[in-house]
């Protein structure tokens, strides 16, 4: 994700997945800042600069949100639905990044406006390939100016 050097927000509650993603980020030398939130409510707090994320310098607007579905307090579907209903956030690129492979979850994600649905691969090597593919895609995508400036 080095071509478009935007912040990536990861909404993930699984400590093992977080650690694995951080290792891949470091191994691939991705320059995009990676910010992590651990539940749906914290994700919205980050996006709306509430509570501990009130200082926008500590919580820069993300260019991409990697959003898990099953999280405590508020699931990824609810987070995605709120993002898409908000005029300031509706253009945020949201990738559902989950271990859930059920067709119903994929359908619901796209109906709610997900940019993509990616199943987390098991194992570090597979995860590394997945992150690399996401990175390559966003380096190639042409985006309008100011898309990440929703505040």
Tell me what the mean pLDDT of segment 129-134 comes to. 82
Give the mean model confidence (pLDDT) for residues 113-136: 82
Residue 2 has pLDDT above 60, yes or no: no
Answer whether 0.75 is exceeded by the pTM: yes
Tell me: the pLDDT tens digits for 23-46? 888 988 888 899 999 999 999 999
Place of tokens 């310098």: 57
Query: Are 40 and 10 contacting, i.e. CB atoms less than 8 angstroms apart?
Result: no
pLDDT tens digits, 42-89: 999 999 999 999 998 889 999 899 999 999 999 999 999 999 999 999
Q: What is the CATH number of domain 7-126?
A: 3.40.50.2300
Q: What percent of the chain has pLDDT over 70?
A: 87
Quick check: 77 and 112 in contact, CB under 8 A?
Answer: yes
């Amino acid at each position: 994700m080095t071509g478009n050097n935007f912040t990536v927000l990861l909404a993930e509650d699984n400590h093992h997945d977080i650690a694995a993603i951080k290792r891949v980020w470091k191994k691939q030398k991705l320059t995009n800042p990676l910010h992590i939130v651990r539940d749906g409510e914290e994700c919205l707090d980050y996006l709306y600069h509430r509570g501990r994320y009130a200082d926008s310098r500590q919580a820069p607007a993300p260019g991409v949100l990697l959003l898990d579905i099953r999280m405590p307090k508020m699931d990824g579907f609810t987070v995605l639905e709120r993002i898409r209903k908000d005029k300031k956030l509706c253009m945020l690129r949201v990738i559902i990044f989950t271990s859930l492979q059920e067709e119903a979850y994929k359908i619901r994600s796209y109906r709610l406006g997900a940019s993509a649905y990616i199943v987390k691969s098991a194992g570090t090597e597979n995860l590394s390939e997945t992150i690399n593919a996401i990175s390559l895609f966003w380096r190639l995508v042409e985006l309008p100016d100011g898309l990440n400036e929703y505040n």
